[in-house]
Each structure stands twice: as structure tokens, then as C-alpha cells.
Amino acid sequence: MPYALLAMIFTPIIFSVPILLVGRLTNSKALGYFSSIVALVTLGLASLFIVFYSGLISVTVSSITLSPYDIPLFTFTLDPLTLLFSFVVSFMGFITIWYSNSYMQNEGGQGRYYFLMLLFVGGMLMLVGAANVLILYAGWEIVGICSFLLVGFWFEEATRNEAAKKVFFFTHMPGEVLLLFAVGTYAWTGSGSIHNLLTSSLPEWQTSVLIIFALVAMFSKSAQFPFFSWLPSAMQGPTPVSALLHSATMVNAGVYLAARLFPLLGGNWQWVLAIVGGFTLILAATAAIRSNDLKEVLAYSTISNLGYMFLAFSFGPIGLVAGLMQFLAHAFFKCCLFLGAGAVDHAANTMDLNQLGGLSKRMPYTAASFTIAALALAGVPPLCGFVGKWLIYTSGISPSIAGLQIFVILVLIGSVLSAGYILRAAHSVFYGQLQEDLKGAHEAPRTMVTAQAILAAGCVLVGVFAQYPISLIMQVPGAGMVTTQSTVILTNIEIAGVASFAPTLAAALLLLAIAAGVLLNEYTTRRPHTAVSPSRELFGSGDKLPQGYEYSSGKHFLYEVTQPFERLKVLNPDSIYADLGRDAELASKRLRAAHNGNVIRYAIWIFIWMIIAGVVFLAFGGL
Amino acid sequence: MDQIIIFGIFMIVFTSLIVILNDRLSALSFLGLNLTIVALLYTESDLISAAIKAILGFFPPAIIVVATRRIKLARPAVGKAVAFIGIAVTVALSYAVAYAIRGVFPEDRLLESYFLIILFGMSILIIVSQTSIFKFLLGVLVLENIGTLILSWGYNSTVLTLIEEVFVVLIALTFAVIALLDFKEYATIDEKELTRLRG
């Protein structure tokens, strides 16, 4: 089994290299087929673990002893948390790569694309399988670099390049604190083992420093407030990349880290998670309501759902189960939604909600899959999103520390908004009257449709048979006890440590919120998909109204109430990013004289700094 | 212990020869250094690492020899007398530094650690005393050999040794290509000259 674990992690990484090399010679479709097979083998190995998992597996490939440190250089482990994430990563990896066979078939640079996709999957598997913080950091960086290169895949276009740079800056720079976290872990626990970190009794201030480093890293990677502004920019990459980035890799790295370090995140840290997660979920949901681009709506929806997960973790052991269930559900419905968006883009060549409409007549299969996933996102039972949200409500009503119940209000508002924005998006794209420009649109190729159908089926199956993933999640260290026969029958559920009325109240609140979202959205908006849109003519290009919201009798309620949040969106480090960019350019002009191309001179400088670092290291008595 | 001292002296001799000799002969000295390390790994019963080093360690000097046949060699930055003095000072200084920081060395690798610090000092000397890009490469490869020796102190490190050696071959190839391109364009591989010619 240890070798199977290594094979699962390294199969995509190793096979990505020949794909890159062959891709230099040919742009053949065979590259995509071969990558799909590699991804399928990886998924097969992950599935084997799901079936045959019987206990913790650890494997140390390489270790080095530099007294007093025993540094395990390549150490991996497989526990229920790794199992959950590795299955989701490999599953979504396979689906998106398979989908790409059609979506990317006419694009150049296929070798580079599939190389990066496989490396992306491999890096994420390395991250979730890491047993020590250095490997975790290595996986973290591989994922970050791949996302940068994939978002900037069409690098010939300046806007995409700029977006890729922004993604890199916002995820990489704050992510560097994860390196500090790794160094601190080595220094204070005497080993880089994550297990040792979780079980050691460090002084409180040292634990606090490590947690602060970890929180900054996870919030930046998972696009939480204030580091959220990069994620909508990441939409500049190919749609399958967005699907993978949002559903299983990259942004979920922060969620994984939070779940892994969950035993350390008790007490006041729960408040930090609750405030950041709660604020982010509302801020992003309001942005999604106000957005008029399909992919942007989905991007803000990801940020909002990640906020749900962090908020859930703050509620305690049941919250951990809820957050991880939401992660699983989110992976399925979000990947399906993005692939649906890709199919729409493929057919209509636009993502603008105003220019779309009635596509279900031309794309019935895509419409069906998209609608199922949208209902899952809204939290409609018995789909997967319902289970995740319902558990979040339940854990929020009975959190492990008093006072956190207040955040259920944010969950409630978030549910109203999410039902509002996703059903608006689904309606604007697929229903109503078919737009004149879209008469020639056609259903996506079979590969793309099948990929979406599998994910839509997953949304149903994960929801109906939620007891199986829940029983796996309950084995994650720190998780609470939830037993259920089937989520279809809510009465057959037992949850340890929550008030007896909590599950029923949670279900009632969630259903009410969905109904409110649907009704508010339905009765305050007139859809733009009429043959002639009078208000569009009336307001022209200079209208004050967003194009997706056309007034019926009065004002659009959800749009109006979310107006104040528009101003809060500027509370992000974008201005710092712009200033740093300008300063870096100025500094580079001044430092250019020092870069004369004499490599030996460079080497001398490196040695000087190495010696200074060595002296400092020794002066402070080593680590 | 005697064995370590003998191997250590061999390493210092070979690195000193890299400082003194021209690029082509330095590459052969580097091959000698590699073989010394192979022997050291062999005596430590790290047979697979020794085999990897023996096979892949042959390529970097071979690449340098082949590349230098096509170009005019650069002149050393310093004369032979200065080089000899530099070697003596470097060895003495490195030993003094190693002695001063001996407290941080692994207890069971004390002697080896002394030699590693001296090798580190020699690699600095190789790089700063030359103008040729190949000497720069050799200085870097001496640093790489320090890494190989440290890896041999661990366990299950064969995979890393293999990865390291493969990268060393790729690095040597890259440097050789850069040198050939530089020589084609500027008719020299002297870094000082190149800096001037590139403007």
C-alpha cells in the first residue's frame, strides 16, 4: 500500500514530463488522450484507497539526519482527510482533463497545457499527502506556480498576462508565510512532522505564531477577506482550468490546511475563522448578485462557498464535518457549473448574462446538468449542497463555544443570496426566450456533455448517499459524530453534541432561505430575454443599472440591498499590489547597473550572503 | 578515521588542481574528485549511490572536455604563485572556521565536517579566482559534491542522489551550450571580456 500511495502522488508528476517534451514536437490530440489515461490511473489508485482503506498509511521515501535534526525529506501519509481530498482532486482532475480533449482541441500549446494540468493535480496530491511541513510547502508552491502558468496560458494577450501576475502575487507572496510556518515548526518541535506539531505541547506564544502564519497562508490561498480579489482575475484562464482550480485544487489548499490544523484552531481562533469566513461569504455573495458575467458569478460563488467552509470550521467538531462535506459538495457542483459555462462559451462565444438566454432549447443536456448543479449550490434537497449547508446550520445552532450562534444569521443571508444569484444565472443562460443571436448555437461535443452529466449525477448521488462520505469524514482527527441512514429521511439522523432541535431547525431555516432567495429573485426582476428589451433601449449604454437587472415594477430587491457591499469590495490589497509593482519597476531601473551579466560577480555576492547568513545562524545558536 | 583523512586530502588536492590548471585539465581533476567520492561512498557501503555517482559523475567532466576542444580557453584571473598562496590561505582559513564552529557538527561526522568546510572554501576560491565560465561551473559542481556527501549521511537517500546527479549533468550541458554560444558570438569565454563586449 505505501507504494500505491507514492504511485498515486507521483504518477501525474512523472508522466507530465514526457507530455511536455512530446508537446514540443507535436500538437496532436493524442497528448490529451494520454493525459486522460494518466489522470484515470491516478483516480483508479485513489479509488482503491477508498475501497480498501483500513488504517493510517505512512511512507518515508528519503530522510537525512543532521544532528540534532532528523529531517524526513519525502514523507507521506494517508489518513481519512488525505483520502477525501485525494479522491476529489484525482476525480476532478480526470474529469477536467477529459473535458479538455474537446474544449482545447483547436488550441496550440497542448503539450504545455496537459503538462501543467497533470502537474497541478500532482502538486495538489503531494500537498494533501504530505506528512511533513516541507513537503506540504513544496506541494503548495507547485500548485501556485501551475495556477499562475495556467491562468496565463494564453499569454499573448496582455490582460491574461496581467491576471496571471496578479494571481501569482496574491497567492505566492502571502503564501511565503507558510515557509515561515514550516521553519517555525522545525525549530520548535524538532521535526517537520505535522503529526508531531498537532500532538506537541508547545508554549502558547509559539503555537499562536505558527497559527497566525498558517492562517495568513490559508486565507490568501483560499481567497478569503482581504485576499479575495485575485480569484475573479483567475477567470482569464481556459474554463477547464477554472473548473479544476475552483473545485479541487488551489483554493481548496487553504481549506485542507485549516482542516489539517483543526486541532490547533480552538478557542479564540474559532472567532477569527468565523469572522473572516462569515464576512467573506456575505461579501462574495453580494458581488455575485451584482455581477453580470457567468464565470465571474461562479468565481464569487466559490469565494462565498469557501467562506462557508471556514465559518463551518469555526463551529467546532460538527462544523469540521460540515465544512468538509461542503467542500465535497462544492467540488461536484462547482466543477459541473464551470464545465457548463465552458460549454456555453463554446456554443455562444460569450459569458454575458444579457446576451444569453433560452439556450436549453439548443443545449438540453448542458442545461439539465447545469440546472442540477445550480440547485445543489442553492442547497435544494436531496442534492449534495443541501447536506453541506444543512450540517453547517446544525453545527452553527449548537457550536462548541457559546456566542458563535450569531453567525447563523450570516449563513442564512448567504443562503438567500446564493439561491438568488445562481438561479438568476441559470435562468438567464438557459431559460426564457432564445436570443436571436443564439439561434445557431448547438449542444457541446459528447465528451463535454458526458463530463457534465457525470458531475451532475455526482451532485445527486453524494446528496442521497451522504452517509458514506460523512462516515469517512467523521474519522478525520477532531471531527464530530454524525450518523445517518440517508439524508432523504431527515429523521434518521443522529448528531452527537448538538441540541436535539438543531437538525430540524437547520433544515427549516435552510429551506426558508432558499425559498426567500428564489422568490425575491423571481418577483423583483424582469428577465432580459424578451425579444425586445425596452429598458435596455431606454437606458442605453450609459444606464445606471447593471445590464442583468432590468426593473419591473420598482427596484430589484437583491440588487438594491447589496449596494452598500460594493464599497466594501475595495477593502483589499489591490492598491498595495499596484504600488509594489510601480516600486519594483523603479528599483529595477536603479539596480540595472549592478546586473552586468558577470556571473562570477553574482556568485561572489551569493557567497557573501551565505557567509553572513551562516554567521547569523551561528550567532543565534542555530535553530 | 585514517581512511577519511586520506580521502579528504585527495579531495583537497583535486580541488587545488582545479584552481591551478586550465579548464580542460581542471575537468580531469574534477573527475578525480568524483572518483574519490565514489570510493568514499563505496567504503560506506552506499553501493547504489556510488554506482550512480560513478556513472553520471563521468558526464560533467566529459562535457567540459568536449566543449573546450571547440573554443579558446580563458586565462586565469590570477597567476600560479598567487593561486598557490590562495589555496594555502583558503585551507588554513577554512580549517580555522571549521574549528570555531565544530560545536554544530554531527558528533559522528566530525572529521568529515571539517573536510566539507574546507571543500566549501575551495569552491569559493575556484569561483572567485577565475574568469572562465567552466571554472565557475566546476566551483558549483564542487558545491554539489558537498551535497552528495551530506546526502550519504542520511538513509534512503539514493533517489535524491540520482535526482541530484541528473540535474548536475543537465547543468553542465547548459553551461557548455552557453559557453559555445558566447564563444561563437564574442570569440571568448572570459567573463570580464564578455561583460565588456556585451556593454
Average pLDDT over residues A418-444: 86
Among the ranges given (A249-258, A287-296, A304-313), the one the predictor scored with the smallest mean pLDDT = A287-296
pLDDT at B35 over 80: yes
Give Cβ neighbours of residue B132 (< 8 Å, ≥ 6 apart).
Answer: B23, B73, B74, B76, B189, B190, B191
C-alpha span between A67 and A311 (Å, rounded): 42
CA–CA dist A313, A480 (Å, integer)? 11
- Residue A445 is given by DSSP the state P
Q: Which pLDDT score is estimated for B42?
A: 86
Q: Residue A618 corresponds to which cell in the numbers above?
A: 551561528
pLDDT for A341 beyond 90: yes
Q: For residue A603, give the nearest of B127, B153, B154 by CB distance.
A: B127
A478/A373: higher pLDDT: A373
Nearest to B157 among A64, A67, A601 (CB): A64
Question: Is the pLDDT score of A515 beyond 80?
Answer: yes
- ipTM of model over 0.95: no
The yes-or-no verdict on residue A556 having pLDDT over 70 is: no
pLDDT in the model for residue B156? 67
Q: Touching check for A621 and chain B: CB below 8 Å?
A: no
Q: Are the C-beta atoms of B127 and B133 separated by less than 8 Å?
A: no
| Chain A interface disruption, residue of B19, B49, B102, B104, most A CBs within 10 A | B104
Contact A607 B195 (CB under 8 A): no
Angle of the A110-129 helix axis to the A2-23 helix axis, nearest 10: 160
Cα–Cα dist A128/A306, whole Å: 17
Among all residues of chain A, which has the CA nearest to that of B106? A67
Q: What is the pTM of this model?
A: 0.78
DSSP summary character for residue A404: G
Q: Which three cell numbers stand for residue B170?
A: 543537465
**Residues above pLDDT 70, as percent of chain B:** 96
Q: Which residues of chain B have a CB within 8 Å of the CB of A2?
A: none
C-alpha A199: how far from chain center: 28
Q: Answer yes or no: is pLDDT of B21 > 80.
A: yes
Taking CB atoms and an 8 Å cutoff, what residues of chain B touch A62? 154, 156-160
Residues belonging to chain B with any Cβ–Cβ distance to chain A shorter than 8 Å: 101, 104, 106-109, 124, 127-128, 130-131, 133, 136, 139-140, 150-151, 153-160, 191-192, 194-195, 198
Give dist(CA A50, CA A53) in Å, integer: 6
Output Rg (C-alpha) for chain B, integer angstroms.
17
Closest-approach residue (CA) in chain A for B148? A64
- The A residues from 24 to 63 touching B (CB cutoff 8 Å) are 60-63
pLDDT tens for each residue of A288-301? 888 888 999 999 99
Task: Look at A63 and B191 and tell me if their CB atoms are within 8 Å.
Answer: no
Contact call for B101 and A618, based on CB within 8 A: yes
Cis peptide leading into residue B61 (ω within 30°): no
- Closest CB to A66: pick one of B106, B130, B160: B106
